[in-house]
Amino acid sequence: MWSTNFSDVSLTAQSRAIFIQSVMDFLKLYDLDGLDIDWEYPGLPGAGHAFRRDDGKNFTLLLKELRSRFDLETRKTKRRLYLTIAAGASDEFLAHTEMGKVQRYLDTVNLMAYDYYEPGADSITGHHAPLFTNPADPKKTSADTSVRAFEKAGVPASKILLGLPFYGHVWGQVADRNHGLYQPGRAIPNTYAPYHTIVESMLNQGFVRFWDATASVPYLYSSEKQIFISYEDPESLIKKCSYVKSHQLGGVMFWDYSGDPSGGLLKTIHDTLNKTTAPRDTAQ
């Protein structure tokens, strides 16, 4: 369950071979076109799973051997198999992996550029998916910072998919200072709020929407309830998709479909990424 067994699976050539064969059997059974590895995280405790000092090197070997097996299968079937990973957007993740080597075996690196701030884990509020760093942010985090760090680690921009959240995080007991942003707060029930829940029961219903022009993200605050909500909306997605295009990233990924049953966020992504800019008239 979750990332519990990845450290054990990747530990030896034999354990990796058993896992890879199970992957091939699974892909064939369900006629799938690839695999995404979501190990959260090599060399780190994550949600309490086993981890080892050599996880980073073993992670590289696992992906290298998966790619070799995928390429062998493709030569037989003439059908490409895709190999991707979900990557933690942190310096810690980069320090415990060999992304410069890993990226050679991957089609995309799906950068989880969200959860930079989480109730419970963080005792103050903050943007959980800022595009750019707000100088007032004590943690100095943002998607842009993470993208640049991954590029510096050796991942080509064309292989980076920017992760977008279809949900928000909720803090309670937040004093009415700076509209609740970067203020002490506590985890409360339902701290994870799908986008549709935010729109249907919070936005303009006792909560005021604010826009951080520096970070390019919205947030909600209720001075009466002393509740702060960090989330994503169409305006911030347009900014992020424009960033993807201008920085020539590989595209976007998101978590998850269930947060946007109306398809409004997904349509925003589609329309922005597929929008073409008309050439400027240079005639004098």
Determine how β-strand 227-230 pairs with β-strand 217-222: antiparallel
Q: Which of 40, 65, 98, 151 is catalytic?
A: 40
Cα end-to-end distance, the chain, whole Å: 65
C-alpha span between 78 and 76 (Å, rounded): 6
Determine how β-strand 227-230 pairs with β-strand 108-112: unpaired
Given a contact cutoff of 8 angstroms between Cβ atoms, the answer to whether 23 and 35 are in contact is yes
- Find the DSSP H helices in the chain: 6-9, 13-30, 55-77, 91-95, 99-102, 143-152, 195-201, 234-246, 264-274
C-alpha span between 246 and 263 (Å, rounded): 25
Given a contact cutoff of 8 angstroms between Cβ atoms, the answer to whether 182 and 138 are in contact is yes
C-alpha span between 239 and 130 (Å, rounded): 11
Report whether the peptide linkage leading into residue 41 is cis, meaning its omega lies within 30 degrees of zero: yes
C-alpha span between 128 and 119 (Å, rounded): 10
Longest dimension (CA), the chain: 69
Establish whether 40 is a catalytic residue.
yes
C-alpha span between 108 and 123 (Å, rounded): 33
Residue 146: helix, strand or coil by DSSP?
A: helix
Catalytic residues: 40
